[in-house]
Every structure is written in C-alpha cells, then in structure tokens.
Amino acid sequence: MELTELTVRSFADLLASNAPAPGGGSTAALEGALGAALSAMVSALTVGRKKYEEHWAFNEDVNQKSEALKETFLVAINKDTDAFNAFTAAMALPKETPEEKAARSAAMQEALISCTESPYHMMELCVNALELVDSQIGKTNTNAMSDLGVAALSLGAAIRGAWLNVLINVGGIKNAALAEHYRTDGKALLERGTAVSGSIYARIEAALEEF
Amino acid sequence: MELTELTVRSFADLLASNAPAPGGGSTAALEGALGAALSAMVSALTVGRKKYEEHWAFNEDVNQKSEALKETFLVAINKDTDAFNAFTAAMALPKETPEEKAARSAAMQEALISCTESPYHMMELCVNALELVDSQIGKTNTNAMSDLGVAALSLGAAIRGAWLNVLINVGGIKNAALAEHYRTDGKALLERGTAVSGSIYARIEAALEEF
C-alpha cells in the first residue's frame, strides 16, 4: 500500500491506530512535503503579478526546485514506513541455529541502517528546502507571507522529527563509523536547519505584527 | 470538496499549486491532526503491554481525548479553507452603490472574523493536545518515544502556524475589542503552547541521545 494514496482522513486514522507504522518518521516526511508545497505555492502566487515582475524568473526557479523537493518528500513518506516494516520482518526471522541467528542479525542491521538513513536523508532535504524558503523572503507576494512562515515551521518540525528518528535507530547500528557519521553529520544538519527555520519564523512574525 | 477526502498526494499537489486555498491555515490544521493522531497512537501502543499495566486506564483516557482532538483538527482543515473562500467571495461582491458598498464591507468583516476565529480556535486545540502529550511522558511505551516527540513538534508547528494566520487577518477587523481579544489571548496561547512543545522536545531529545 502506498501511504500517499490514502485520503488525508484515512492517513490520520491509520496513524492514530495501534498499527506501529506509519509513525513519526512518515509524519516528518509528510510535514516536509507540506513545507515544500507551501514554498512552491508562494512562488506560484508571485509569478504573473505585475508588482513582482523583477522576481518572476527567480520564483519560477524556486517553484521548480520546491516542487521537486515535495515529490522527494512524498516518496519518503512511503520509504520510511517500508524501512520500519523491514526491521519488524527481520526481527521475526527464525533464530534457532547459529546460521539462522547470524542471518537474522545481518538482516536486522541492514534494516536498522535503512531506518536511520531514511530520516537522515530527510534532514538533508529539509535544509535544502529551508534555504529555498529563506531566499523567498522579500521576493514573493506579501499576501502569502503567513504561508511562507508555515512552510518554514513545517520544515522545522520535519527536520527535528527526522532527527528523533535518527536517534532512536542509530544506537542499534554496530558499524561504529557509520553510526558516528549519522550522529555527527545529523547534528550539524539539525543545527543548520533549526537556525534557518527559527530565523525565518521570527522575521515573518515580526513583519505580520505590523501587517 | 472536502479537502480531507483528497489523497495525501493530491492534497500536497493542490497546496503547491497557484490556487490560493488551501494554504498555511489548513496546513496548520493538518499538522495539528497529525500531532493528535501520534498522541493517540502512542497510548494505543501502550495499552495491553504488561510492562505498562499501571498506566493502561490513563492511556485509554488519553487515547479517547486525542482521537477526539484529531477529529476536530480534521474538520478544521476544511473549515479554514471555507473561511478563506468566503472572504474571496465577499471581495468579489459588487461595489457600485452605497448599499452595495455597505453590504460588501459587512460581508468582508464577517468573513475576516471567520478567517481569524478559525486559526485562533486551532491554537486552543493545540494547547489541549500538547498538555495531553506532556502528560504521556513517562507513562507510555518507550519504543514510541520518538513518535511522542514528533507529536509535540507537529503541534508546536501547528500553533505557531495558526498564530501567523491570526496575525495576517486580525489587522483588518474593525471591531477593536474583538481584534484585541484575538491578539492578547492568542499571544497567551502561543506562549503556553510553544513552552510546552519545546519542553517536551528537549526532554525526549535528551532521553534519545542516551537511548
């Protein structure tokens, strides 16, 4: 089943159920998709308006990039749940003989790495999307300023949510160098993304308080 | 059209388009629904597990409340876009005669108040949902700790996103007392909600760094 083919209501209902997946990882991916979609919308609402003519080419470019990011996030909604389900399947493998134990352990490691790589990759996407949103400030339709703010907030929630999903999985990875990469580089992405998201929100809130 | 009956993919595609609605308001409502759904899921994944038997009754209660909040947020996804569309319709009313001008102005004021009330109400829901999530810490399945964190992040993004939507609309409301209510009480809800959300995230991130 493709989660992105569920209705919004069915997705929320399935999320709320005691089915272990989808969970926070797919939710973070969906919030990334919503943030990228709002970024694309704000540029789409700017192109063609006479007042912003000098920024049309810029916004056409941003719109394409945000649309592409939205697509990648939508794919990640399904991928993250697939990775989680692969881990559950590996856990259920037989573990009677030494050979079975070794095969189960290897399958679990492989699945754990996917469960960590999936949110780590989302964090990279979030930083890219947040930098696009940052570049839109001052060059887009001011009637959509709150939408640009919600884009930054969605991506800010997505990157932190993805980070929690890196953390809950990385502890089980036996390859120490790989685990260290996810922890160190993930932390750097988190810091960059949250700084950009917070800065965008603060500027937009301040502007709207005068609106 | 009920937005919640669109597939997740179609919702994201429509959001990204140059259709002015749905926008950031409905996105904030969806993020509220996702947060409440994850809260419900974490309690559902706790009830029935022997290890947490002392917390079963508590979690059954939280689960019901979070499910109800999820439903209310889902309704708000549609409502927020309806309010925005009513404002656009009021803007398009004829304005030739004094009577037409007065009727248009009254319709615009009524719609603007709906456009402000809708995100203001979401902020109240977010505070309720965040307090539920806060109460779940230490009483729920630790394997779902990251999901509880994503619940808090989603609701934190929702309350700030709703606040930006209050701000972009409240400036146009002519009833000064009503505008002041939205600004003052909205700011108080924002401060309460962001404090709870930030505190939950910080505790869960710290716990997961040791996981």
User: Following DSSP, what letter does each residue of A75-90 receive, concatenated?
Assistant: HHHHHHHHHHHHHHHH
Determine contact, residues A4/A78, Cβ cutoff 8 Å.
Answer: yes
Tens of pLDDT along B109-150?
Answer: 999 999 999 999 999 999 999 999 999 999 999 999 999 999
Tens of pLDDT along B69-102?
Answer: 999 999 999 999 999 999 999 999 999 999 999 9
Test the A interface: residue of B27, B30, B80, B137 with most A CBs within 10 Å = B27
With bands split at pLDDT 50, 70 and 90, how would you rate the model's confidence at B21? confident
At residue B211, the pLDDT reads: 77
Question: How many residues in total does chain A contain?
Answer: 211
With bands split at pLDDT 50, 70 and 90, how would you rate the model's confidence at A110? very high
Encoded amino acid at B141, one letter: N
- Specify the residue for token string 């996917």: A114
Distance CA B194, CA B98 (A): 46
State the pTM of this model: 0.97
Q: Do B8 and A12 touch (CB under 8 A)?
A: no
- Specify the residue for token string 């009021």: B90
Residues 99-138 of A with CB under 8 A from B: none
Tens of pLDDT along B162-202?
Answer: 999 999 999 999 999 999 999 999 999 999 999 999 999 99
Q: Do B168 and A208 touch (CB under 8 A)?
A: yes
Q: Do B153 and A146 touch (CB under 8 A)?
A: no
Number of H helices, E strands in chain B: 6, 0
Tell me if chain A has a CB within 8 Å of the CB of B23: yes
User: Distance from A25 to chain B by nearest Cα, in Å?
Assistant: 8
Distance CA A127, CA A129 (A): 5
With bands split at pLDDT 50, 70 and 90, how would you rate the model's confidence at A68? very high
Q: Do B16 and A9 touch (CB under 8 A)?
A: no
Q: Do A15 and B5 touch (CB under 8 A)?
A: no
Distance CA A183, CA B3 (A): 38
Distance CA B134, CA A176 (A): 34
At residue B9, the pLDDT reads: 98
Q: Which residues of chain A does B145 touch, with a Cβ-Cβ cutoff of 8 Å? A: 164, 168
